[in-house]
Amino acid sequence: MMELSDWLLIGGGTFAGIINTISGSGTLFSLGVMALMDIPLVTANIATRPGVFFQNITGIYVLRKYRQFTKNDIKLWPIVYTGIGAMLGAVCAGIVSGHFFNLIASAVMLLLLLQYLLPLKFLNFTTPLSDKSKHTFHYALFFAAGFYGGFIQIGIGILILTILFRYLAMPYASANAYKLIIITIYTLPTTLYFALTDKILWKPALLLALGQIIGAYLAAVFISVKTNARSWAKWITVLMIVITLLKIWAF
């Protein structure tokens, strides 16, 4: 018999899959639902990883089906540097204290809230900032993004999307699809690490994963036929940030 909490996890996962596939920050919905269920944020952060993996596999499949990207869009070196950073970040996520993680996660949520309400120039998806040449700065960006994603996951989609579009000058549609590929590849070893070290709370993780697969499929189909898919998600995400912060610090 499915309990209300189970349906909440599936629903939160569905929203997470939708938002993550469209742009990023969907993990806020997964963390928010688990926070409402009194699951510690540091534990919830790890429980989101299986869902992120399966959600991105689904999104890639549908976007590929609708020809939103080609094999030529895939480059190896960003995946390598992101993967190395992600493994280091995952190790840190497994040993950090709950209170310290709450402080970091809250700071990230406040920055994301600021970005949604007062968009920062460097996260503007209008004009790329540089050409397609590779240099040390780009390697460092992907390594840092990987570390961040392995550690906390919140907003990693937006961060990688920004790097691909603004600094590598990839077209937005290709960058969004390639973002899913990068996150999928580094999420596999980090999830295995968390599983082997017995840090994943499996029941909520699997229910979230089910919802995220559904959400990713719906979102990938939607953005394949619509050009304004990001606009409607803004205020839902803002609301979720506020609810999660209130739950962490006020209740």
Encode pLDDT of 97-130 as tens digits: 988 998 998 888 888 888 777 765 555 555 555 5
d(CA 69, CA 92): 33
Q: Higher model confidence: residue 11 or residue 27?
A: 11
131: its two tokens: 């050409």
For residues 105 and 131, the model is more confident at 105
Q: What is the pLDDT of residues 188-204, one digit of tens each?
A: 999 999 999 999 999 99
C-alpha gyration radius of the chain? 17
CB 2 within 8 Å of CB 215: no
Residues with Cβ < 8 Å from 72, sequence gap 6 or more?
Answer: none
> Is it the case that residue 134 has pLDDT exceeding 70?
no
- pLDDT above 60 for 220: yes
- pLDDT at residue 80, rounded to an integer: 94
DSSP state letter for 163: I
pLDDT at 133: 52
Measure the CA–CA gap between 59 and 68, rounded to whole angstroms: 11
Report the percentage of the chain scoring pLDDT > 90.
Answer: 37
Name, in order, each residue with C-beta under 8 angstroms of 194's C-beta and a sequence gap of 6 or more.
Answer: 46, 49, 90, 93, 94, 200
Predicted local confidence at residue 227, as pLDDT? 53
Give the CB-side neighbour count of residue 135, counting CA atoms within 13 A: 6
- Given this model, what pLDDT does residue 201 score? 95
pLDDT for the residue numbered 216: 84
Residue range 43-65: mean pLDDT, rounded: 88
The whole-number average pLDDT for the span 157-184 is 85
Is 15's pLDDT higher than 80? yes
| pLDDT confidence of residue 36 | 87
Name the residue ranges covered by the structural domains of the chain.
Answer: 4-249
Q: Which residue has the higher pLDDT, 84 or 35?
A: 84
Is pLDDT larger for residue 147 or for residue 171? Answer: 147
Q: What is the pTM of this model?
A: 0.83
pLDDT at 244 exceeding the cut of 90: no
Of 165, 73, 175, the closest CA to residue 124 belongs to 165
CA distance to 6, 160, 228, per residue, from 138 (Å): 41, 11, 29
φ, ψ of residue 68 in degrees (nearest 5): -85, -10
Angle at the Cα of 53 from the Cα atoms of 3 and 206, rounded to 5 degrees: 20
Give the other-Cβ count within 10 Å of 226's Cβ: 12
Residue of 128, 110, 127, 129 whose CA lies nearest to 118: 110
Residue 80 · residue 185 · CB < 8 Å: no
Residue range 25-54: mean pLDDT, rounded: 90
Does residue 132 sit in helix, strand or coil? Answer: coil
pLDDT at 232: 64
| pLDDT at residue 119 in the model | 65
Question: What percent of the chain has pLDDT above 70?
Answer: 84
Angle at 194 between CA 99 and CA 236, to 5 degrees: 60
Query: Tell me, what's the pLDDT at 48?
Result: 93
What pLDDT, on the 0 to 100 scale, is given for residue 191?
A: 96
